[in-house]
Structure 1
Amino acid sequence: MTEGAPSRAIIRFAIPLILGYLLQQMYLIIDAAIVGRWIGVGALAAVGASSSIMFLVMGFCNGSCAGFAIPVAQAFGAGDYRKMRCYVSNAMRIALVLAIVITLLTCFLCDKILQMVNTPADVFHDAYVFLFLQFCTIPFTIAYNLLSGQIRALGNSKQPFYFLIASSLLNILLDIVFILLLGMGVEGAGIATFLSQIFASLLCWWFIKRHMPILVPTGDERNFDNKRISILLNNGIPMGLQFSITSIGIIMLQSANNALGTVYVASFTAAVRIKYLFTCVLENIGVAMATYCGQNLGARKLQRVKTGVNDSMWIMLAYFALTVIIIYPFADEMMMLFVNGNELEVIDNAARLMRICNWFYPSLGVLVILRYSIQGLGYSNLSMMSGVMEMIARCGVSIWLVPSLAWTGVCYADPVAWVMADLFLIPAYLWLMRRLKRQLG
């Protein structure tokens, strides 16, 4: 990603990422549609009641793994392959510890977590079963994100996409078998996710061993290295905490929304599934920028970093125009994927949230592009502060707007959070570019 037109390099790298996450979101939509239409609105609410908790936990895991890939990308861009493999081996050590600790803690506290977010009593049991099975999946989610992040750090975003296709298709197939044929309910959805994540992580491991030996540590490259561990933690933990801090606000918002009742929980679940389908494109333009900026910083091409950020903004705005054409007229029809047409209140609530958030997608685009660019440049602590701004905004909405405006307050939570984060990220990015220009001469 250090040669050629920046816009083409970014698009070429981002497309497999976007397609992969679109496929993943399509799986989540199909999963929710199967649960909502064939089991019922209560089951849909049970699956969605803990979505903010999963964002907190999985966000920390995925963000940390993405951060661990940044030193790998920088070393690759600088052509120091031995150093790169030292990072790979030490990242695996950290990931193993995280997987064990987080899985044990979350499984043990599952019941208390659902009580904390005001899960409605009528869906509590199903929500517990689903969440517990999701927590059991954590080690394999970490393995997939760590290995796929290392593959992408070398500029290969296609293979993780192919593995997502395979695991998502397996997940859908298992959903059909466990839920529709065997009648296992939300338990079937949880088991399907568990098995498909194992499959995805094994595919990544096989590919690296077979086709990317440059990533496989040998000899003393496998040794524990305190300096490398420190650098990896300084990149990974702030990125993980950024998602976790953001999630605190999301948890408070979901808790406030859960208190409104099962209909609103189902509405939130349906809207969020479709919203993520659209916003994952923006998110992955940002993910592409982390690798792009990391490699170009390693190659000492700061002007190319700046050009890439500007080009990604134009790409984002073009995508925003496309989403308006799709979301505004068809939001109601999208919600009917999850519930029967007679569930008018759920459909109306969910469609309203989708339309309101859609107008603020440029704010989200600026947020993810600048956040991931700053991370790719090695300043994860700085980008973490944008997560603090999002948390403060969502907490404020949960405390003041939701009690007074009910569902309307929920609809404006994300837009307020995105704008608040931008107010920090824009000056932070400008300051950082001036700083790096002085350092690189």
Structure 2
Amino acid sequence: MTRGKRETIICQSKNDGDFSYEEKKFICLFQPVELTQGECWKTILAFSFPIIVSYLLQQVYTISDAAIVGQTLTAQEVAGVNDTTSLIFIFLQFAFGVSAGFCVVTSCNVGAHNPAGVRRSLTTQIVLSAALTVILTVLALLLLDPMLAWINVTPDNGEVYRAAYTYCAIIFAGIGAQLFYNFICSFLRSMGDSVTPLAFLLFSTVLNVGLDLLFIIVFRWGVAGAAIATVSAQLISTLGCFAYAFSKYPELRLHQEDWQITRHDVTRHLIQGIPLGLQFSVLAIGIIVVQSIVVQFDMLGGAMVSNAAQNGFGAANKVNNLLMTPLNGLGSAMTSFTAQNLGAGDTKRIKKGTIQSLIIMLIMAACSILIGLLLTINGTYLHIFLSADKVTAETLRFGNSYLYIDLSLYAFLGFIFVARNCVQGIGKPQFVLGAGAAELVARVAVCLLLPAALAGGVVSAEAPQAAVYGLCVADPFAWMSADAVLCIPFFRNIMKEDYRYLYSGSGQGLVNGQ
């Protein structure tokens, strides 16, 4: 009897003398959630909870890593690392989005109980991920200097430039580790297993922090040590996750015929993956534009006269990222939920689950808003991310303005997370890409036009509070623009249960044999 089948029998059996109740519960934790069965809201919560915890853990790691770097490297090295965040975000988010999109095909085959289709999807993703690794690595390294110049980091910046170049070069050289890590985690989630990715993420986080301390403090490798620690932890976790997946799921063990990949296999994966990858990447461009305007609020006459706006917006943005994590995790779960039920042909369950997920989203959004407002009391969140000497009335003004406006319209953000992933799950990636484009255009337009107009022409440290509000509303305008695009397939296809496109060219045969 295989390991996976034995674990399933243990979970289904009420009496198994070989295991205690606690051991049995632990084993069952790692069993995939059957997304096509059971009460929708219970299934969604059970599946999404480990994903939410995973995303929260990633945020905690990011903060911890930043703390280690900030406490051990020079000010110039820290600035160099921080300056590269948006550039790295462009490529890594593309890798994350592509992997999530690819696995829509996997989920459909899981829902259709088509193990051969699942294995074919796995081999296709292995080949595509390898090809994308080569393309992204070469592209990122070739464009590294021009991209650094784009954010005004040039050789004239001395140590800041050297730190930024070194950190980016190592991260980009190891982009394959991140891509394959995202791939195997997304693949397991598409099968209904959201606990295994959480376990390996926890392992990766602890390992990364340990390697940070070893390479930076003990070996004194500086910026290079921080980057090597990140890539090494991801690579080790990726290899471990693949080994565990093949051991736990015998049905994933590949046969020679599974490698007979056709053009159709490649096409249907790319159609699902590339739009979502691009959608994630364009968000980074919007973030760069927002950051460029934030800096102007600290400048006067071409000179930097303050750090209040950068520190205030920076701390508030970290809080915002934490608060939106549950919404993001819930949305990610809905991709697998809708795709599996699409493969099973249960369109009524897709509609019911989507409606119930929106209700869950509103409850989560309300909780996030409450927590966010509590953190603004006496600038609590600022004291978490900034030392006491950096917390001023001006810092509080910029940070609170951003949080108050964003939190008041969180329902629009929550709808993006749920609707975008549901639309992706039913095989409508063109609308996901369209929503990303609308979000980018709206955010950039508001950032470039509204603050300057309200400031009387030029944004500077002397700009009125109205100009600050003008920048802060960029997020809500972007969310509403994306929502407007997503509403089209949301109501036309999911709510009306219209899936005729699956049987035309636009459906692209999400499930083998269709």
Q: Same fold (TM over 0.5)?
A: yes
Q: Which residue of 2 aligns with 1:365?
A: 414
How far has the Cα of 1:21 moved from its partner? Answer: 1.1
How far has the Cα of 1:178 moved from its partner? Answer: 3.4
Partners of 1:180 and 1:412 lie apart in 2 by: 42
Q: Which residue of 2 aligns with 1:130?
A: 167
How far has the Cα of 1:38 moved from its partner? Answer: 4.9
Which structure's CA Rg is the greater one? 2
Please state whether the residue corresponding to 1:421 is helix, strand or coil: helix
CA 1:162–1:82 in 2, change beyond 3 Å: closer, same or farther?
Answer: same
Q: Which residue of 1 aligns with 2:15?
A: none
How far has the Cα of 1:426 moved from its partner? Answer: 1.8
Partners of 2:190 and 2:163 lie apart in 1 by: 39
Which whole-Å deviations, capped at 9, do the CAs of 1:97-130 have from their partners, x for residues lacking one? Answer: 1011101111222121121123494744333333
Partners of 2:357 and 2:272 lie apart in 1 by: 23
- Pick the aligned partner of 2:333 from 267, 279, 288: 288
Q: Which residue of 1 aligns with 2:190?
A: 153
- Pick the aligned partner of 1:414 from 469, 475, 500: 475
1:144 is aligned with what amino acid? Y
Question: Does the alignment pair 1:397 with 2:458?
Answer: no
Q: Which residue of 1 aligns with 2:486?
A: 425
CA 1:283–1:143 in 2, change beyond 3 Å: closer, same or farther?
Answer: same
How far has the Cα of 1:408 moved from its partner? Answer: 4.4
How far has the Cα of 1:282 moved from its partner? Answer: 0.8
**Count of aligned pairs between the two proteins:** 441
CA 1:116–1:388 in 2, change beyond 3 Å: closer, same or farther?
Answer: same
Alignment of 1:12-411 (within 5 A): 12-39=46-73, 44-119=78-153, 121=157, 123-258=160-295, 263=307, 264-331=309-376, 332-345=379-392, 347-348=395-396, 349-403=398-452, 406=459, 408-411=469-472
How far has the Cα of 1:325 moved from its partner? Answer: 2.4
> Is contact 1:41-1:266 (8 Å) kept?
no
> Is contact 1:335-1:351 (8 Å) kept?
no
2:241 is aligned with what amino acid? C
- Larger % of helix: which? 1
Query: Which structure ranks higher in relative contact order (CA pairs < 8 Å, sequence separation ≥ 6)?
Result: 1
> Is contact 1:66-1:149 (8 Å) kept?
yes
Please state whether the residue corresponding to 1:300 is helix, strand or coil: coil
Unaligned residue ranges in structure 1 (runs of 5+): none
Alpha carbon RMSD of aligned pairs, Å?
A: 2.5
Please state whether the residue corresponding to 2:354 is helix, strand or coil: helix
> Is contact 2:83-2:164 (8 Å) kept?
yes
Instruction: Give me the TM-score of the superposition, normalised by structure 1.
Output: 0.92
% identical aligned pairs: 30
1:216 is aligned with what amino acid? R
> Is contact 1:118-1:258 (8 Å) kept?
no
Partners of 1:416 and 1:425 lie apart in 2 by: 14
Comparing 26-35 and 45-54, the one that deviates more: 45-54
Which whole-Å deviations, capped at 9, do the CAs of 1:166-186 have from their partners, x for residues lacking one? Answer: 001111222233344555444
Partners of 2:239 and 2:381 lie apart in 1 by: 34
Partners of 2:75 and 2:81 lie apart in 1 by: 10
CA 1:187–1:401 in 2, change beyond 3 Å: closer, same or farther?
Answer: farther
